[in-house]
């Protein structure tokens, strides 16, 4: 229901949520459609240099323009990365779900600020150690290459979304994106929206008010219902697809 729902404090300490990477295969990688899963050996290699950390909701994992000591792999919870622009606006660049990697640097500094939206569990890996490992192990590196390639496509999709001029269409595409990202654990047409309306606005390049009006319009037209602020339920799939796909 609310953000707190995602915390799940009873999680055992070591049994689950080991590091993995979510990505599409790079250039099909020989084996067509192969699941982009790490082998047991690769997982072990990462675990050897990784530290497991739990962060509460709202905590800042790292701040932009600080030394990029670590990279992170999310295993549980949802986070966001953002950048505060000099205009005062906040630009949300990504929402991070389990198996997402984050912490890419430029000139040794983080480019964005990363903040937990829900309580989250992360694997923290020292950047230099990871780079050394990747340079030794081509297969493991290939998983990262696949991952980054996938992120590149996602970023390009995001450009299309932001480029749409109609607010309703953008929100529809956003909901669809979330549906794809988190489909495994949801039944039927219920989609969790752990982030605030304000975060969605900053992500889609719209004002908070426009998001509100767009969701209201989707609800009024009977296309999507919002049982509460953190849940969306697609009622009219045909109309929804027409909105989200007809770019």
Partner DNA sequence: CGTAGTATTGAAACGGATCAATATCTGTGG
Partner DNA sequence: CCACAGATATTGATCCGTTTCAATACTACG
Residue ranges in 163-222 that form contacts with DNA under rule CB under 7 A = 165-168, 196-198, 205-213, 215-216
98: number of CA atoms within 13 Å, CB side?
Answer: 16
When binding is defined by CB under 8 A, the residue of 7, 91, 97, 213 that contacts its own copies is 91
When binding is defined by CB under 8 A, the residue of 116, 130, 191, 234 that contacts its own copies is 130
| Cα 67 from Cα 64, distance rounded (Å) | 9
- CB-CB contact of 195 with 117 (8 Å): yes
Between the CA of residue 148 and those of 42, 100, 102, what are the distances in Å?
17, 10, 10
Angle at 6 between CA 202 and CA 193, to 5 degrees: 35
Judged by beta carbon distances under 5 to 8 A according to partner kind, the member of DNA, its own copies, none in contact with residue 197 is DNA
- Per CB under 8 A, the segment of 13-21, 39-47, 49-57, 158-166 that binds its own copies is 158-166
Judged by beta carbon distances under 5 to 8 A according to partner kind, the member of its own copies, DNA, none in contact with residue 71 is its own copies
DSSP for 111-159, written as a single string: SSEEEESS-EEEEEEEHHHHHHHHHH-HHHHHHHHHHHHHHHHHHHHHH
Nearest distance in Å: CB 196, DNA: 3
Share in percent of the chain as helix, strand, coil (round to 5): 40, 25, 35
State yes or no: residue 148 binds its own copies (CB under 8 A).
yes
What is the contact surface with its own copies in residues (CB under 8 A)? 24, 26-30, 32-33, 68, 71, 85-87, 89, 91, 93, 104-108, 111, 127-128, 130-132, 134-139, 141-142, 144-145, 148-149, 151-153, 155-156, 158-160, 162-163, 205, 245-247
What is the contact surface with DNA in residues (CB under 7 A)? 1-4, 165-168, 196-198, 205-213, 215-216, 226, 228-230
């Amino acid at each position: 229901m609310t953000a707190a729902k995602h915390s799940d404090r009873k999680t055992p300490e070591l049994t689950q949520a080991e590091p993995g990477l979510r990505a599409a295969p790079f250039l099909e990688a020989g084996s067509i459609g192969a699941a982009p899963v790490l082998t047991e050996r690769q997982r072990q290699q990462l675990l050897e240099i990784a530290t497991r950390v739990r962060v509460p909701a709202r905590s800042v994992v790292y701040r932009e323009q600080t030394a990029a000591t670590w990279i992170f792999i999310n295993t549980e919870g949802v986070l966001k990365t953002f950048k505060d622009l000099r205009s005062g606006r906040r630009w949300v660049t990504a929402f991070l779900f389990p198996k997402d990697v984050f912490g890419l640097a430029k000139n040794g500094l983080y480019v964005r600020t990363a903040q937990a939206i829900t309580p989250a569990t992360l694997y923290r890996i020292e950047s230099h150690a990871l780079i050394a490992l990747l340079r030794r192990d081509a297969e493991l590196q290939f998983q990262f290459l696949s991952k980054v390639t996938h992120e590149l496509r996602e970023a390009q999709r995001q450009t299309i979304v932001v480029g749409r001029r109609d607010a309703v269409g953008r929100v529809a595409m956003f909901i669809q994106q979330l549906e794809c990202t988190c489909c495994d654990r949801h039944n039927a047409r219920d989609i969790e929206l752990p982030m605030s309306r304000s975060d969605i606005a900053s992500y889609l390049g719209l004002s908070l008010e426009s998001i509100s009006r767009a969701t209201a319009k989707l609800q009024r037209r009977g296309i999507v219902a919002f049982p509460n602020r953190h849940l969306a339920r697609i009622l009219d799939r045909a109309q929804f697809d027409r909105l989200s796909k007809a770019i």
